[in-house]
Structure 1
Amino acid sequence: MTTWPRLPTRRAVLRAAGAALPLASIARAAQAPAVRASRPTDIRVVDVMHAFEGHTYRAPYMFGGRSVDRVTILNVQVRVRTGDGKEAFGFGSMTLGNAWAFPKASQDEGLGAMTALAEAFRAITAACDDQGHPIDLWRVLEPAYLQEAAALGPRRGLAMPIPKLCTLVVASAFDAAIHDAYGKAFGLSSYATYSSRHMRHDLSRDLGPAFAGQYLDRHVAVAPRAETPVFHSVGASDAIEPSDLKVRLDDGLPNTLAEWIARDGLTHFKIKLNGGNEAQDFDRITRIDRVVREAMTARRIADWHYLLDFNEGCPNVGYLLTLLRKVREFTPDGFARIKYVEQPTSRDLAGDRANVMHEASKLLPVVVDEGLVDIESLHLARAMGYTGVALKACKGQSQALLIAAAAQQAGMFLCVQDLTCPGASLIHSAGIAARVPGNAGIEANARQFVPSASAAWEPRFPGLFTVRNGVMRTGQLTGPGLGAVPPGPRLA
């Protein structure tokens, strides 16, 4: 249950954020000029609230050698005012996936840092006096968020800096709430506000001169596609067959991969691999291929697909190449069904330059995920042979759309992944997946591991939280803003 705290006055926010405000001012001066003159299509932030809710997983989810069994969700509500005086509320939500975003910290350290960042980001966001489109505000807020994160680590006695990815995950709920409020202020889907009619600047401001005269509406559709294929995540410890079960959960949901296929009519599968043990990874891929093949033969389905996600687990690119070639030799048809490989080696691209993906990309698209935190890292990934990008709502609506535009223009492979996103965060993620041209599909694993977190949302979005025939019904995501209105009462 979400409990919204009472919001202090703007004056109190400005006093409380005294330490953060100079950082925001410095960031504005260095990164983007402040916007003071108002247009009718501009907004400014008036109020900001945030709250947390917690849920326990029905079963642990293992990825990249880490096991997760609970989630803390950050919910953010903002009130904005347009240039001609209209006001609107916006809502954003995101899983604080510290095990993924801050893996070198302990559970308590990582989650504690992220909740502390949320407190600080609320004050910074509330104190922002700039006006414009949500992407204008993101240009001002992101540097301030990053500076606050750099200062927060030492204050909390952390042994390592707070990663940029961790900062983006926390900031994404605030960014989503601002985009949501902007659309609602004008009675439009947020995706109808990415043209020159609403945006102050074209994409050259963020992506360089090659994008002069282009706006996001050239790269992101206003209308969502009716259905989007769902990649079912097979966690590294998930039961593939009944013999893998240690304890059967009697909660009405499937327990094995074959049971999930039968219930949801699955056709797309995300295979989580730990890396570091070639025989083990090979066995897992080929076992899953066998179980899926048997299920598809019984259903008379000829078209299905896999993706391989190592979460940085491969010790080097040679490991990946050997494994892929072995799979191709053993099951040529199974190999042909692999659509792409996701983040096989370290997210630290600059520190891992030896592990280039040029040879691997000749076999399959290789997608950058954890290593993709800004436009500069996109350029570096391309130089290292990565040929695709994983777009994620948890890195921010603004960044996801800008990277989608840059990746499309570069001819890169596109997919949308989640962070075990339930409720409003899945609606947000699905909205991106349904509008980016060429997107291969969406991961949506909260329905597998933490369905309780979506229970209040599910009746209002039939077919979004429950998959049928392997697809999510995304055509319904046409409401104002990003489409997520909390089921409970709004704090006015």
Structure 2
Amino acid sequence: MVDTPHVRIRAIEMFERPVHLRLPFRFGVVTLREAPQAFVRAHVETADGHSAWGAAAELMAPKWFDKNLQLTNEDNFDQLRTVLRIARDAYLGDPTPATAFGHFARHHDAHQAVCATHGFNPLLASYGPALVDRAVLDALCRLYRIPFAAAMQANLPGVDRSHPQFDGLDIAGLLASLRPAPTIEARHTVGMLDAITAADLHERVNDGLPETLEEVIAAYGHRWFKLKVGGQVQADLARLHAIAAVLDRSTHPYFVSLDGNEQYESAAGVAELVAAIRATPGLARLWSSTAFIEQPIARKLALDADLRGADLGKLVIIDESDGELDAFVRARARGYAGVSSKTCKGVYRSILNAARCAAWNREEGDSRYFLSAEDLTTQAGLAVQQDLALVNLLGIGHVERNGHHYVNGMAALPAAEQQAFLQAHADLYERSHGAVRLAIRDGRIALGSLQATPGYAGGAMPDFAAMQPLGGAAA
């Protein structure tokens, strides 16, 4: 393995292309039907003149980073384009060589401060560096022809204590100890509008893909599920009862997480739902199968709400509240046990929080603290591959996957691009119903090719020529 390399970032290019959903996805305060996907390319160069391009991709999801109802979806998309451009200008504005992590550490705090002057919250601000950092890391791995897992185990990006939030943690020791698994469980999302049985369907899409929860289980064999709850106890109970009626048919164990999507104002409101679930006989198996509760309280209140006195019965994690690098530290002090890993928040943030979990669990002699792996309607191609590679490396045994369900795979992409990804990752994808798509068999996703391919889990590249520059401006 090479020594930790320092690189200059010579160029950063940004693109986007539209994503149209085959089914409406209701989460929190939004029903998603379409959104752009952002793409970032970064060109890095070593002191001896060797160079490589890397890339990253992420959906520009509205009403997740900023849930201000006064803003339109287009307003949200423009916010995300702006934070991408702010990150690009910062990373290109300092030509001094640094490690891949060093570029992140150098710019993180200043980027957050600049974004704050635009009125952008820290979660929204994180989106820009998250894509640039992944593109730089991909380029670094390609430059040295090293797969992502091996590069991280050897700390090729040079993750160290150069940012104060990483101080006092054994990052290198954690990375060296990580061992990715050959497969991972796919945790299926049941959105607020999703049909549970055929009787719930008003009109079929009829594209050959599963549309109801029953059909999803029959097609993919899921054992893990993410259930959205909406903050209205009686409505939530009725929907959970309908879901349990399907899940309880299984003779094998199943597992669920409950996602509150910030729909509650206090721990007492969450406790009310929990008490109602516990008091409903038809939900006994579902409740015993619940692994954790995700971000039930609105982010502006969540880290002020002390969960330690509430009778919630399950561990609770933060997701949308994870805006600043120290958010998990503050959440722990309020009784939260976990935090989500999402590549839209940054690869180094996930590593930081994994190191915290390891340190805190050692301190307490327990396994209370954990990372969950959550989705942002991650699309087939670089986005889903980089997310899968990261959460698998971190030892998370299951990951929310919903992009393959709400979007018709790679159907909208050029045929050559689809074939390139299928050829490079024949275990991860399959061709069915006229398109290349994520392959889920017996509830699991095969990851072998992601661990063997040089680069940040990308054996193929998107067709950038088929995209438009970000926001119609110069790439």
TM-score, normalising length: structure 1: 0.82
CA contact (8 A) 1:65 1:274 kept: no
Residue type of the partner of 2:34? R
CA contact (8 A) 2:318 2:340 kept: yes
Give yes or no for the alignment of 1:393 onto 2:350: no
- 2:431 — aligned with what? none
- 2:425 — aligned with what? 461
CA deviation map 1:410-463 (0-9, x unaligned): 2312211110010211111101121112x2411111101123447624554345
Give yes or no for the alignment of 1:233 onto 2:189: yes
Structure 1 residues 344 and 335 mapped into 2: Cα distance closer, same or farther (>3 Å)? same
Give yes or no for the alignment of 1:107 onto 2:80: no
- 1:17 — aligned with what? none
Structure 1 residues 407 and 64 mapped into 2: Cα distance closer, same or farther (>3 Å)? same
CA contact (8 A) 1:47 1:78 kept: yes
Structure 1 residues 235 and 362 mapped into 2: Cα distance closer, same or farther (>3 Å)? closer
- 2:254 — aligned with what? 304
- 2:278 — aligned with what? 328
How do 1:205-224 and structure 2 match up within 5 A? Answer: 205-207=163-165, 210-211=168-169, 214-216=170-172, 218-219=174-175, 223-224=179-180
CA deviation map 1:158-181 (0-9, x unaligned): xxx211111212332111101111
CA contact (8 A) 1:54 1:73 kept: yes
Structure 1 residue 134: Cα displacement? 1.3
CA deviation map 1:334-363 (0-9, x unaligned): 21100110001011257x51x222245761
Specify which of 240, 243, 248 is matched with residue 288 of structure 1.
243
- 1:147 — aligned with what? 113
- 1:93 — aligned with what? 57
Structure 1 residues 407 and 54 mapped into 2: Cα distance closer, same or farther (>3 Å)? same
Give yes or no for the alignment of 1:358 onto 2:308: yes
Structure 1 gaps, min length 5: 1-38, 154-160
Structure 1 residue 467: Cα displacement? 0.9
Specify which of 336, 339, 351 is matched with residue 291 of structure 2.
339
CA contact (8 A) 2:4 2:156 kept: no
Provide the rounded CA distance (Å) in 2 between the counterparts of 1:85 and 1:339: 50
Provide the rounded CA distance (Å) in 2 between the counterparts of 1:208 and 1:117: 24
Structure 1 residues 222 and 379 mapped into 2: Cα distance closer, same or farther (>3 Å)? closer
CA contact (8 A) 1:61 1:69 kept: yes
Structure 1 residue 48: Cα displacement? 1.2
Structure 1 residue 87: Cα displacement? 0.7
Structure 1 residue 209: Cα displacement? 5.0
Give yes or no for the alignment of 1:260 onto 2:216: yes
State how many pairs are aligned.
434
- 2:449 — aligned with what? 476
CA deviation map 1:51-80 (0-9, x unaligned): 111111111100113111112111011110
Provide the rounded CA distance (Å) in 2 between the counterparts of 1:401 and 1:97: 23
- Tell me, what secondary structure is at the counterpart of 1:401? helix
Structure 1 residue 400: Cα displacement? 1.6
Structure 1 residues 143 and 332 mapped into 2: Cα distance closer, same or farther (>3 Å)? same
Structure 1 residue 409: Cα displacement? 1.9
Residue type of the partner of 1:488? D
- Tell me, what secondary structure is at the counterpart of 1:419? coil
- Tell me, what secondary structure is at the counterpart of 1:410? helix
State the superposition RMSD in angstroms. Answer: 2.4
Residue type of the partner of 2:457? G
Q: Which has the higher contact order (CA 8 A, sep 6+)?
A: 2
Provide the rounded CA distance (Å) in 2 between the counterparts of 1:110 and 1:58: 21
Specify which of 7, 11, 19 is matched with residue 55 of structure 1.
19
Structure 1 residue 313: Cα displacement? 0.6
Provide the rounded CA distance (Å) in 2 between the counterparts of 1:436 and 1:43: 25
Structure 1 residue 127: Cα displacement? 2.4
How do 1:363-442 and structure 2 match up within 5 A? Answer: 363-411=313-361, 412-422=369-379, 423-437=381-395, 439-442=396-399
Structure 1 residue 215: Cα displacement? 2.8
Specify which of 196, 199, 207 is matched with residue 243 of structure 1.
199
- Tell me, what secondary structure is at the counterpart of 2:441? coil
Structure 1 residues 322 and 267 mapped into 2: Cα distance closer, same or farther (>3 Å)? same
Structure 1 residue 137: Cα displacement? 0.5
How do 1:314-325 and structure 2 match up within 5 A? Answer: 314-325=264-275
Provide the rounded CA distance (Å) in 1 between the counterparts of 2:397 and 2:306: 23
404-413 vs 58-67, greater mean Cα deviation: 404-413
Give yes or no for the alignment of 1:71 onto 2:35: yes
Structure 1 residue 408: Cα displacement? 2.6
388-397 vs 445-454, greater mean Cα deviation: 445-454
Residue type of the partner of 1:272? K
Residue type of the partner of 2:374? Q
Structure 1 residues 57 and 462 mapped into 2: Cα distance closer, same or farther (>3 Å)? same
Residue type of the partner of 2:371? L
CA contact (8 A) 1:54 1:70 kept: yes
CA contact (8 A) 2:147 2:455 kept: yes
CA contact (8 A) 1:80 1:89 kept: yes
Provide the rounded CA distance (Å) in 2 between the counterparts of 1:102 and 1:83: 40
Residue type of the partner of 1:474? L
Residue type of the partner of 1:467? I
CA contact (8 A) 2:192 2:228 kept: yes
Structure 1 residues 489 and 44 mapped into 2: Cα distance closer, same or farther (>3 Å)? same
CA contact (8 A) 2:105 2:163 kept: no
Residue type of the partner of 1:186? Y
Residue type of the partner of 1:136? G
Structure 1 residues 292 and 197 mapped into 2: Cα distance closer, same or farther (>3 Å)? closer
Structure 2 gaps, min length 5: 362-368, 429-437, 467-475
- 2:84 — aligned with what? 118
Structure 1 residue 50: Cα displacement? 1.0
Give yes or no for the alignment of 1:279 onto 2:209: no
470-479 vs 451-460, greater mean Cα deviation: 451-460
- Tell me, what secondary structure is at the counterpart of 2:322? coil
Structure 1 residues 233 and 54 mapped into 2: Cα distance closer, same or farther (>3 Å)? same
How do 1:174-193 and structure 2 match up within 5 A? Answer: 174-193=132-151
CA deviation map 1:321-340 (0-9, x unaligned): 12223223323322110011
